[in-house]
């Protein structure tokens, strides 16, 4: 995965209001469009002092919605340098939009937002291995069926929390096989 940084540098460090968020959202989407597939855009909050819920909704949730809708295939978004004072408002916006995103907080990288615990566990396994197939996840996590493993990986991919690339030839019956990739740098 190729990582590209996009630092938010608002006037006086304050990101307030939907309007400003919408303006920045367009810039972020432009940047995502310019990236080659399998790229992760790191939205850097280190120069932001304060972000309100409306602005976080535009900057993060609505960009995620466009990513999940497939507007920028195989591009991903993570949040870097999230300070404790940003976290509550970003999480409030994610809760409203029912979205989840990887964020670098003071304690390290963690998925923020709505994500059921079994998905979180699967995500953790992907991050530990950096890349994983459905069979490998099935063996690691001790799921009952490979199908369960595939479903979880596929759901995490749709949520834009992991990437994927084709793996081996299609299996009998036409089903494609993928290797799933962590968005985090090793």
Partner 1 sequence: MNTQLAQRTFFIRARTAELNDRAFDQELLPQFFCLFHRRSLSNLERVVFDLRGVRWGNPYGALGVVLLCEVLRDYSPWELEIWLASAQQHKRHTWLAHLGLGQAVARLAKVKGQLEDEVQLATRYRYLPITALPSAPEGQVRLLKDVALHTYEILVNDFGYDAVQASRFITALSELCTNIYDHSAPRGQMRGFIAMQAYQNTVKFAVMDLGVGIPKSLRSRYGLDDAALLEKAFEPGVSACENRGLGLARVSQIVERQHGILNVRSGRAKILLLGRERHRTLYRLTQKSAFQGTQIGILLRRV
Residues that bind partner 1 (CB under 8 A): 12, 14, 16-17, 19-20, 49-50, 52-53, 83-86, 88-89, 92, 95-96
- Which of 81, 163 has the CB closer to partner 1? 81
Least Cβ distance, residue 83 to partner 1 (angstroms) = 7
Least Cβ distance, residue 93 to partner 1 (angstroms) = 9
Q: Which candidate, 70, 36, 56, places its Cα nearest to that of 103?
A: 56
- Which of 4, 92 has the CB closer to partner 1? 92
Least Cβ distance, residue 89 to partner 1 (angstroms) = 6
In angstroms, the CA 24 to CA 32 distance is 12
For residue 121, report the phi and psi dihedrals to the nearest 5 degrees. -65, -40
- Which of 20, 42 has the CB closer to partner 1? 20
Residues 6+ apart with CB under 8 A from 37: 73, 74, 75
Least Cβ distance, residue 185 to partner 1 (angstroms) = 27
- Which of 21, 163 has the CB closer to partner 1? 21
């Amino acid at each position: 995965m190729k990582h590209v940084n996009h630092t938010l540098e608002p006037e006086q460090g304050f990101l307030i209001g939907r309007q400003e968020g919408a303006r920045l959202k367009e810039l972020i989407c432009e940047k995502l469009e310019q990236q080659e597939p399998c790229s992760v855009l790191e939205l850097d909050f280190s120069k932001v002092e304060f972000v309100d819920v409306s602005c976080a909704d535009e900057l993060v949730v609505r960009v995620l919605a466009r990513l999940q809708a497939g507007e920028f295939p195989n591009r991903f978004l993570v949040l870097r340098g999230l300070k404790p004072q940003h976290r509550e408002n970003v999480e409030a916006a994610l809760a409203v939009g029912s979205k989840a995103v990887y964020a670098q907080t003071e304690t390290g990288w963690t998925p923020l937002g709505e994500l059921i615990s079994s998905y979180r566990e699967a995500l953790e396994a992907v991050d530990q291995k950096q890349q994983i197939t459905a069979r490998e996840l099935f063996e690691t996590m001790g799921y009952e069926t490979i199908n369960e493993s595939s479903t979880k990986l596929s759901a995490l991919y749709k949520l834009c929390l992991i990437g994927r690339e084709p793996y081996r030839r299609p299996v009998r019956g036409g089903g494609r096989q993928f290797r799933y990739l962590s968005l985090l740098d090793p």
